[in-house]
Structures are given as C-alpha cells and as structure tokens.
Amino acid sequence: MSDRARKRPFRWHIVVFLAPAVLIYTAIMIIPLFGTLNLSLFTRAEDGSRIFVGLQNFQTLFGDRRWSDAFWNATGNNLWFFIIHMLVQNPIGIALAAILSTPKLRFAAFYRTAIFIPAILSFVIVGFVWKLILSPLWGVAPTFMDALGLGNWFAPWLGLEESALTTLALISVWQFVGIPMMLIYAALLSIPDEVLEAAEMDGITGASQFWKIKLPLILPTIGIISILTFVGNFNAFDLIYVTQGALAGPNFTTDILGSYLFRTFFGFQLQLGDPHMGATVATVMFAIILVGVSIYLFGVQTRLRRYQF
C-alpha cells in the first residue's frame, strides 16, 4: 500500500492546471447562477427588507393572468423566432457551405468573408442599419421596390403587428447565417477525399453525393448548430431592444423572453425594477434552455451515428 503511494504520488499538477478555469468559471458563472436562483425565492417587503417566500414568485408568474399572459406571449414569440432561424438560417447556411466547398468555385474566400462579416458586427449597428433600410420615410427598401414596380408591396414591416417579429427574425438570420455556414464548411472540408472518391467510383456524384454522402457525415455538426441556435435565440435580447425598445412594440408582438426579463428586472421609465420577479423569469429561462439542451443531448445526440475516419 505505502509502496504504491510512493510510486504514484498525488498528481498536484492536475489541480494546479485546472484551478484557474475552475475558479474563474465558479466566480463568474456558477455563483451568479445560484445567486439568481436564490434571489427568485425572495421578495421585498414594504419596509425594504428581503423576505423568503419559497415558490410564490413562480406561482405569480404562472398563476396571475397579468404576468402569465405576458410570459406566454414572450415564450410563444421566442419559439417563432427560433423556428424562423431553424427553417431559414440553418438551411441557407448549409447550402452556402455546400456551394463554397465545391472546388470549382472562384472567389470562394471573398464570399466566405463577405457572408461572415455581419456576424462580427455589433447588434446596435445591425439594428440601426436595418431600421434605416426599412424606414418608410428615408429607407432604401421603399425606393428600391418602387424602382422595381413593387412599390405597393412595401409596408412598414417593423411597425405592423403581423410582420414585426418575422422581420426581426430575418434580420437576425441575415446577421448570423455566417456562423452555421462556417461550421458546416469546416465539417465538409474534414470529410476525407477517399470517401468521396469511393462514392464517385460507385457513380454517386453531384447533388446525390451531397444528400447521400456528405449530409449524413455532417449531421452531428448540424445538431450542434441547432443547439447553438436554440440557446442563442432563447437568450436573445439585443436586437429587439435596439430596434423596438424595451417595450418590444408594436403591442408586445416582438417581446421575447430576453426583453421581458429586462423590463421585469430593471424596470422601464416609471416602472421600478423588481429583481425578485426578474430572477424568477431568469430562472424559468434557464430551465427552458436546460430542458431544450437536455432533450438534444440525451434524445438526439446519443442516437446520431458517428463515423470514424
């Protein structure tokens, strides 16, 4: 026993090397997370002191019509925001990556960069640029559509209840389509040439090569992209705040969980912030994301077939 202990001393270097990451992650992620969960169990009394109320804040959020209507509205909007991303952003990203990875394409590096650039722009810039483009007064969109004879089809999309959320989702798609494109592009490049050559030997070329050979090989990457989109969308806030303000107009049709959380936590104009209800909303958001990620990890990812090259 003592013999063995002398042979294999405690490996301190593991602790030492892990320590910085563990400490920083604990300080800036884990402690605030539990702080938020803890905050949601309290409320502020009349005299300003904190009192423990258990799950009463959650009961208010789901049981009181004034809270729950706004919450479910935000959740529904957020879901639609996510669906648009899944239906538009990811297929376009995959298509762009597939086109970029064809060896015959000229200026591929230029296109790749140009499509990726919006993803590194600030939300503030993207929000204002699109607001100006779509402005019915000075925007290029109405002028451009007039020139094409489509002037009557123009509408102040960001100001209409029916179209505002979809418009914002598409702006967000425009901004972030570069990210799935890059990830898929990298995945496509990592497919070994032997596999593709073998496919060609079997007579599978062109589009059917993409559907039958490449797509199954990049499915794990598509899964990762879906989960990144899910987490990103359910945490989104900036674009809505920049273009529509904290009230997420018109008539809260662009209100998503992030903007709802902001209004609740920090207040707005004459409405004072309520950190405890805000923390409650944040906790529910955390739960939604946790459930979504878990479904993916345990339900989808374990079933994906992986190929070793």
Partner 1 sequence: MTARKTTLTAAAFLLSGTALMAQDVTLTIESWRNDDISIWRNQIIPAFEAAHPGIKLDFQPTAPAQYNSALNSKLDAGTAGDIVTCRAFDASLALFQKGQLADLTDLDGMANYSDVAKSAWSTDDGSQQFCVPMASVIHGFIYNADAFNELGLEEPTTVDEFFAVLDAIAADGSYIPMAMGVNDQWEAATMGYANIGPNYWMGEQGRNALIAGDAKLTDAEFVAPFEQLARWSDYLGRGFESQSYPDSQNLFTLGRAAIYPSGSWEIAGFRSLADFEMGAFPPPVQNAGDTCYISDHTDMGMGLNAASPNAEAGRTFLNWLGSSEFATLFANAVPGFFPLSNAEVTLDDSLAQEFISWRGDCESSIRPFHQILSRGTPNLSNESWGTSANVIRGGQTPADAAAQMQAGLASWYAPQQ
Positions touching partner 1 (CB under 8 A) are 66, 131, 134-138, 142, 155-161, 244-245, 247, 249-252, 268-272, 274
Minimum distance between the CB of residue 45 and partner 1, rounded to whole angstroms? 15
Residue 198 identity (one-letter amino acid): A
> Measured between alpha carbons, how far is 274 from 271 in angstroms, rounded to an integer?
9
Report the residue number, 158 or 261, with the smaller CB distance to partner 1. Answer: 158
Joined tokens for residue 128:
């204002």
Report the residue number, 90 or 244, with the smaller CB distance to partner 1. Answer: 244
Minimum distance between the CB of residue 47 and partner 1, rounded to whole angstroms? 11
Report the residue number, 220 or 249, with the smaller CB distance to partner 1. Answer: 249
- Rounded to the nearest 10 degrees, the angle between the axes of helix 56-63 and helix 65-84 is 70
Joined tokens for residue 129:
């640029």
Report the residue number, 226 or 244, with the smaller CB distance to partner 1. Answer: 244
> Measured between alpha carbons, how far is 71 from 82 in angstroms, rounded to an integer?
16
Phi, psi for residue 44 in degrees, rounded to 5: -100, 130
Looking up tokens 């800036």, which residue turns up? 28
Minimum distance between the CB of residue 178 and partner 1, rounded to whole angstroms? 27
Q: Are 280 and 57 in contact (CB under 8 A)?
A: yes
Report the residue number, 244 or 283, with the smaller CB distance to partner 1. Answer: 244
Looking up tokens 């804040």, which residue turns up? 57
> Measured between alpha carbons, how far is 41 from 195 in angstroms, rounded to an integer?
56
Minimum distance between the CB of residue 74 and partner 1, rounded to whole angstroms? 14
Report the residue number, 227 or 277, with the smaller CB distance to partner 1. Answer: 277
Minimum distance between the CB of residue 147 and partner 1, rounded to whole angstroms? 17
> Measured between alpha carbons, how far is 269 from 100 in angstroms, rounded to an integer?
48
Minimum distance between the CB of residue 152 and partner 1, rounded to whole angstroms? 12
